[in-house]
Amino acid sequence: MSQLFPYPLLIICLIIMWLLLTSFSLGQVIVGTIIALIAAQGMAALQPAKPRPKRWDLLLRLTGIVLYDIARSNIAVTKIILQGNKRTRKSGFMAIPLNLRDPIGLAILAVIITSTPGTAWLGYNFAQGTLLLHIFDLVDEAVWLDLIKNRYEYLLLEIFE
Partner 1 sequence: MNHVTDLPLWVAWLVAAFLFIGAGLTLTGSFGLYRLSSFYDRIHAPTLGTSWGTAAIVLASIIYFSALQSRPVFHEILIGIFVTITTPVTFMLLGRAALYRDRSENNPEVPAMDLPKDILDKLKLADKTESVYLESGERE
18 touches partner 1 (CB under 8 A): no
27 touches partner 1 (CB under 8 A): no
38 touches partner 1 (CB under 8 A): no
- Considering beta carbons, is residue 37 or 120 the nearer one to partner 1? 120
122 touches partner 1 (CB under 8 A): yes
For residue 138, the 8-state DSSP code is: -
127 touches partner 1 (CB under 8 A): yes
d(CA 43, CA 38): 9
Classified as helix, coil or strand, 100 is coil
128 touches partner 1 (CB under 8 A): yes
d(CA 110, CA 93): 16
Contact (Cβ atoms closer than 8 angstroms) between residue 60 and residue 113: no
Helix (H) or strand (E) holding 122: strand 119-125
d(CA 29, CA 48): 27
Of 62, 116, 156, 160, which one interacts with partner 1 (CB under 8 A)?
116
- Beta-bridge mates of residue 124: 131
- Considering beta carbons, is residue 121 or 152 the nearer one to partner 1? 121
25 touches partner 1 (CB under 8 A): no
- Considering beta carbons, is residue 17 or 34 the nearer one to partner 1? 17
142 touches partner 1 (CB under 8 A): yes
47: left (phi over 0), alpha (psi -120 to 50) or beta: left
97 touches partner 1 (CB under 8 A): yes
- Considering beta carbons, is residue 11 or 116 the nearer one to partner 1? 116
**C-alpha dist (Å) from residue 131 to 95, 127, 152:** 6, 11, 13
Q: What does the binding site for partner 1 look like in residue numbers (CB under 8 A)?
A: 17, 20-21, 70-71, 74, 77-78, 81-82, 84-85, 88-97, 110-111, 114-123, 125, 127-128, 130, 132, 134, 136, 138, 141-142, 145, 149-150
